[in-house]
Structure 1
Amino acid sequence: MTITVESTGTDETRRDQGSNEVSDRLIASAARMSRNAMTEIDWNEPLDPTKYGCSPEWSSLYGTDMWDELTEEQRIELTRHEFASISTNGIWFEMILQEMVIRDQYLGEYHSPEFQWSLVEIADECRHSLMFAKGADVMVGTSYRPSKFVGWAGKAFMALAKNEVAYSAILVAEEVLDVFQRGCMNDDRVLPLVRTVNEIHVLEESRHMKFAREEVRESMEGVGWFRRQLSALIIAIAGFLIVTSLHSPHLYTNAGLDSKRAMAVKKNNRHFQSMMRESCVHLMEFLDSVGLLTRPAARWYRRANLL
């Protein structure tokens, strides 16, 4: 993949539609297509012991010697904890997202389509968080959170981020989760419960990502060099912390593995790194197109294996 960093953006990055026009279409789409996992999924149905929690190829250990050493039962248990870790750490960021969106719309134009869409998005995120929490409980009976440092950093980011920083970080988090879920939702080897959770989230997050892109484009209009550089760096660091928090060290322990070894293997797993990079091409292209893929930012994305 070849991307030129330090782009300042071109006319193609300018908004061709207003936020209210996009919001109107997204509200209509949500009215037609929104789904409710609480009623759609039979949460009491026994889990098939032969089904994975995610596609084996999306496991953080797939393609390594450690993966080869595992029995089929251990692989299945590992992927179920990986799904639980990714989805419940997703709850952590969705809570940050909801506060940033509410703050952005505080004392806004309540009659506007943009404000109304924001309420739809917040409602979606609440349902998604409940869906993820229920899925983790049913599958492995536990949940995962980021480290104390990342939790503190999230609180600071939640309080201070706005404009392109807030919406780009939202986009990075949602795109990365979307990539993982798209890779698993059509795989017959994966539990039906997980596939439905992924399908619902991918469908509804596509609307959120469209709105976030529009907000980023709008925020970046007329932005000067210094702000662009600073925003790009903050977004990249936030993205690094989000991505590196998705797989909790505790998931490996709970799956019956040596956590320290597993984390070291994951860190050096070229297959997993390649899957992440190839799947985030469009995200990096978008950030580049709006001038948010600067050289310092690119270094953080490479550390997170997104570039």
Structure 2
Amino acid sequence: MARVLQPKDRDKTAERLLDSSMRNSYDPDVDIDWDAPLVEGKSFMPEERVSLYGTALWDRLSPEQRLELTKHEIGSITSVGLWTEIVLMQLLARYAADLDPRSPHTHYALTEIGDETRHAIMFGKAIGRLGLPAYGPPRVVRTPAKLFGALIGGPAMFASVLVVEETTDRLQRSMLDDERIQPMIRMINRIHVVEEARHVRYAREELVRGVGSLGRRALELHRLVTAVVAHTVVNVLVHPAVYRAVGLDPREARAVALANPHHHETRRWMAEKIVPFLTEVGMIGGPSERIWQKAHLL
């Protein structure tokens, strides 16, 4: 694929993405009716993608409890998504600081920061509108992530961004035309999917350009960083406290979810697009591939 991509092509891609951003972007304050009532009985995510689906604990839940769990799980995923958007903004700002300010490539990086700012606000409003806690990742993840945001760049940065964006994108795309899902959730997903498609194109091309210049030892380091990010993110998407909201013991329910074969399959399904790409360009392989397997992404 893109072993043929050259740095000079960056501006051509950026010009297309800037044009698309000008023609096809959203304003969540205008395009989402935040005052519209939720539709009674509609779910907040597909039940078959809930972490406990297919287990004895799931079978014990009433329809009302299952509906409530979909709300809290999507709220947890959204909280983590909001946090990763902010980390991405930090990475992009540091990346753009070293670029030529006259370049369309730089202009698109700055445009993407603007997109991510709107997305973070949109996610925050959604969590508040649903009356949910700001679950997010635990401190044990937030603290080293600050170091990641300050130090990591190059292929590991772009690969990590792609892991986060493309796994959640798969879940969001599955809800766009699903009439079982709350209209507000579907509109949020539509906005995010349309705008993230540009971000994915930008990151994929830059990853391909960067990975070809890595020596063997550097490649293994970038692979390791990416694998650790992937493992960490998928493991914090569902906060244990979501289970307490439906009367379950968080420790027991999390243990059941982590051992749930159906949940493992959902993780692999979410990663179906990004894993082959990262494998093709050489960012999955070597000793760190075991981390992907432990995360049930391979």
Equivalent in 263, 277, 284 of residue 272 of structure 1? 263
Return the alpha-carbon distance in structure 2 between the equivalents of residues 275 and 145 of structure 1. Answer: 20
- Larger relative contact order (CA 8 Å, sep ≥ 6): 1
Match of 2:69 in 1: 78
Q: Which moved more, 1:60-69 or 1:253-262?
A: 253-262
Match of 1:153 in 2: 144
- TM-score w.r.t. length of structure 2: 0.96
Q: Which moved more, 1:252-261 or 1:210-219?
A: 252-261
Could you list the runs of 5+ residues in structure 2 that have no partner in the other structure? none
Amino acid at match of 1:169: S
2:79–2:136 contact (8 Å) kept in structure 1: yes
Amino acid at match of 1:150: V
Q: Which moved more, 1:70-79 or 1:295-304?
A: 295-304
Equivalent in 58, 73, 76 of residue 67 of structure 1? 58
Return the alpha-carbon distance in structure 1 between the equivalents of residues 250 and 176 of structure 2. Answer: 27
Amino acid at match of 1:47: L
Q: Which moved more, 1:135-144 or 1:168-177?
A: 135-144
Return the alpha-carbon distance in structure 1 between the equivalents of residues 4 and 293 of structure 2. Answer: 27
CA-to-aligned-CA distance 1:72-97 (integer Å, 9 cap, x gap):
11111100011110011111111111
Return the alpha-carbon distance in structure 1 between the equivalents of residues 118 and 87 of structure 2. Answer: 15
Displacement over 2 Å in runs of 4+: 11-14, 254-257
User: Does residue 170 in structure 1 map to residue 161 in structure 2?
Assistant: yes
Shift of the 23–12 alpha-carbon distance from structure 1 to 2, 3 Å rule, reads closer
Equivalent in 87, 92, 117 of residue 126 of structure 1? 117
SS of 2:130's equivalent in the other structure is helix
SS of 1:129's equivalent in the other structure is helix
Equivalent in 255, 258, 268 of residue 249 of structure 2? 258
Match of 1:235 in 2: 226
Amino acid at match of 2:170: V
User: Does residue 188 in structure 1 map to residue 188 in structure 2?
Assistant: no
User: Does residue 24 in structure 1 map to residue 15 in structure 2?
Assistant: yes
CA-to-aligned-CA distance 1:32-73 (integer Å, 9 cap, x gap):
111122111111112123011101111111111111111111
SS of 1:18's equivalent in the other structure is helix
Return the alpha-carbon distance in structure 2 between the equivalents of residues 122 and 222 of structure 1. Answer: 26
Overall identity of the aligned pairs, in %: 35
Return the alpha-carbon distance in structure 2 between the equivalents of residues 255 and 47 of structure 1. Answer: 19
Equivalent in 267, 282, 299 of residue 273 of structure 2? 282
Return the alpha-carbon distance in structure 1 between the equivalents of residues 236 and 269 of structure 2. Answer: 20
- TM-score w.r.t. length of structure 1: 0.93
Give the C-alpha shift of residue 108 in structure 1. 2.3
SS of 2:288's equivalent in the other structure is helix
Return the alpha-carbon distance in structure 1 between the equivalents of residues 270 and 241 of structure 2. Answer: 26
Match of 1:115 in 2: 106
Match of 1:13 in 2: 3
Return the alpha-carbon distance in structure 2 between the equivalents of residues 25 and 63 of structure 1. Answer: 44
Match of 1:136 in 2: 127
Could you list the runs of 5+ residues in structure 1 that have no partner in the other structure? 1-10
Q: Which moved more, 1:111-120 or 1:246-255?
A: 246-255
Give the C-alpha shift of residue 255 in structure 1. 3.5
1:81–1:255 contact (8 Å) kept in structure 2: no
User: Does residue 296 in structure 1 map to residue 292 in structure 2?
Assistant: no
SS of 1:251's equivalent in the other structure is helix
1:144–1:248 contact (8 Å) kept in structure 2: yes
Match of 1:6 in 2: none
Between the two proteins, the alignment pairs up a number of residues equal to: 297
1:80–1:140 contact (8 Å) kept in structure 2: no
RMSD: 1.4
